[in-house]
Amino acid sequence: MGVKLGDIIPPEAVQTVQLSDLSNKSIAIDGYNILYQFLSNIRGPDGKPLQDSKGRVTSHLSGVFFRSTNFIKEGIRVVYVFDGQPPALKIETIRKRIELRERARKMYEEALAAGVVAEARKYAAQSSSIEKYMVETAIQLLEAMGIPYIIAPAEGEAQAAYMAARGDVWASSSQDYDSILFGTPRLVRNLSLVGRRKLPRRNEYVVVEPEVLHSEKLFASLGITRRELVEMAILIGTDYFEGVRGIGPKKAYSLIKEYGAADKALDAIKKSLDVDIEAVRRLFLEPEVKKDYELKWREIDREATMRILCDEHDFSPERVEKELNEVESILSEKRRVTSLDRWLM
DNA sequence: CAACAGCA
DNA sequence: TGCTGTTGG
């Protein structure tokens, strides 16, 4: 979800990159965003998620494990940022999402019963919801892998943006554009290993490279400020409320260009919004964030990782061990080379 | 989503 | 070796 800015992002503000370009950089990842992607995508052909012998879903653990080892191999340091309490304004959005999920879940069961496998898979993905235990097990795994995480007081994206703005991490990462509104200087999108993404409700794939969106370039190209982008978002609609009917990014852009603020634009077109506009501004411009945190990356605890994945959740020990060995050998090779470099200097 | 097996 | 379909839990 998030604010729909896709259509007006100027290409010059976006830099497509290779994963290796992010080497030695630190990135704050929107934890819910990524768990949701894993949960909806890592599924069998009929839509069933991976699960252990006790029936607990493990798709997200597979995703977190393999993606994390790959980041470590590349020298990319990530910190997971999870949502805390949703802002009051978001309650209605959350209620609607639950409703949609319920509908998708019914469709999933119907399709499954009718034996329409592809159809079933589509609805299964839409019916995914992140349960509390999934976040808890993901956090256990992160701890074992030496990857830091933060539970934000409110919105994870706001927290990640704050950390990037303060320079504690190089960038924040999410599929949503909300981070820009929250003030991130750099937003990494499509942060996955293989450059392909499944098209929604279709069995097709498109090539998608990781990209870095530079906020300052975006503001400069559009000739607006972050504050004005927030005004645009108010007209377009956000996760917190629906915007004005018939106004998308392009109209919002010209309206804010002309009138400068959402309320003035609304007056001009004789429309109104059933929302406290001032509260929305505060939500984006002065979000509630945690300011005291420590980011510490440690070595992988192999035993703990094996215990969680294999003993607790029935992952194949051979498969996990193979990956851990690869991480170890790549890291030791890196250390060998860098110490040699240092010696040569 | 990412690893892996199988095939050109 | 690179590509494509299947498996993982």
Q: What is the pLDDT of residues A9-24, one digit of tens each?
A: 999 999 999 999 999 9
Could you say which architecture CATH assigns to the domain A1-222? Answer: 3-Layer(aba) Sandwich (3.40)
Q: Residue A202's pLDDT is what?
A: 47
For residues A200 and A109, which has the higher predicted lDDT (pLDDT)?
A109
Lowest mean pLDDT among A148-157, A300-309, A330-339: A330-339
Give me the CA A319–C1' B5 separation in Å, rounded. Answer: 14
Q: Residue A197's pLDDT is what?
A: 55
Give me the CA A141–C1' B1 separation in Å, rounded. Answer: 17
Taking residues A48-70, report their average pLDDT: 98
Give me the CA A260–C1' C7 separation in Å, rounded. Answer: 54
Element containing residue A207 per DSSP (H, E): strand A205-207
Give me the CA A83–C1' C5 separation in Å, rounded. Answer: 37
Q: Length of chain A in residues, anyone?
A: 345
User: pLDDT confidence of A194, banded at 50, 70, 90?
Assistant: confident
Is pLDDT at A226 greater than 70 in this prediction? yes
Strand B proximal to A42 Cβ, under 7 A:
yes
> Which CA-bearing residue is nearest the C1' of B4?
A319
Packing angle, helices A31-41 and A117-126, rounded to 10:
170
Taking residues A218-247, report their average pLDDT: 96
> Which CA-bearing residue is nearest the C1' of B2?
A66
CA angle A9, A13, A14 (to 5 degrees): 85
Q: Residue A344's pLDDT is what?
A: 43
Element containing residue A238 per DSSP (H, E): strand A237-238
Q: What is the pLDDT of residues A65-109, one digit of tens each?
A: 999 999 999 999 999 999 999 999 999 999 999 999 999 999 999
Report yes or no: A42 and A59 within 8 Å, Cβ to Cβ: yes
User: pLDDT confidence of A201, banded at 50, 70, 90?
Assistant: very low
**How remote is the C-alpha of A28 from its chain's centroid?**
9
Is pLDDT at A198 greater than 90 in this prediction? no
Give me the CA A103–C1' B6 separation in Å, rounded. Answer: 39
User: pLDDT confidence of A210, banded at 50, 70, 90?
Assistant: very high
Residues whose C-beta lies under 7 Å from strand C: A 42-45, 48-52, 58, 62, 313-316, 319-320
DSSP-assigned states of every residue in A316-340: -HHHHHHHHHHHHHHHHHHHHHHHH
Is pLDDT at A28 greater than 50 in this prediction? yes
Give me the CA A204–C1' C2 separation in Å, rounded. Answer: 20
Question: Does A224-287 match A1-222 at the fold level?
Answer: no
Chain B nucleotides close to protein (CB under 7 A) are 1-4
Q: Residue A104's pLDDT is what?
A: 98
Tokens 């505060």 map to which residue?
A282
Strand B proximal to A74 Cβ, under 7 A:
no
Closest by alpha carbon to A88, among A132, A150, A154, A32? Answer: A154
Strand B proximal to A32 Cβ, under 7 A:
no
Strand B proximal to A322 Cβ, under 7 A:
yes
Cα–Cα distance measured from residue A53 to residue A34, given in angstroms and rounded to the nearest whole number: 24
A224-287 has which fold? DNA polymerase; domain 1 (1.10.150)
Chain C nucleotides close to protein (CB under 7 A) are 7-9
Is pLDDT at A200 greater than 60 in this prediction? no
Q: What is the pLDDT of residues A258-290, one digit of tens each?
A: 999 999 999 999 999 999 999 999 999 999 999
Give me the CA A327–C1' B3 separation in Å, rounded. Answer: 15
Spell out the domain ranges in chain A: 1-222, 224-287
DSSP-assigned states of every residue in A95-145: HHHHHHHHHHHHHHHHHHHHT-HHHHHHHHHHT----HHHHHHHHHHHHHT
Average model confidence (pLDDT) across chain A: 94
Is pLDDT at A343 greater than 80 in this prediction? no
C-alpha distance across the termini of chain A, in Å: 49
Q: Residue A208's pLDDT is what?
A: 83
Strand B proximal to A62 Cβ, under 7 A:
yes
Give me the CA A99–C1' C9 separation in Å, rounded. Answer: 28
Closest by alpha carbon to A68, among A142, A157, A151? Answer: A142
Is pLDDT at A303 greater than 90 in this prediction? yes
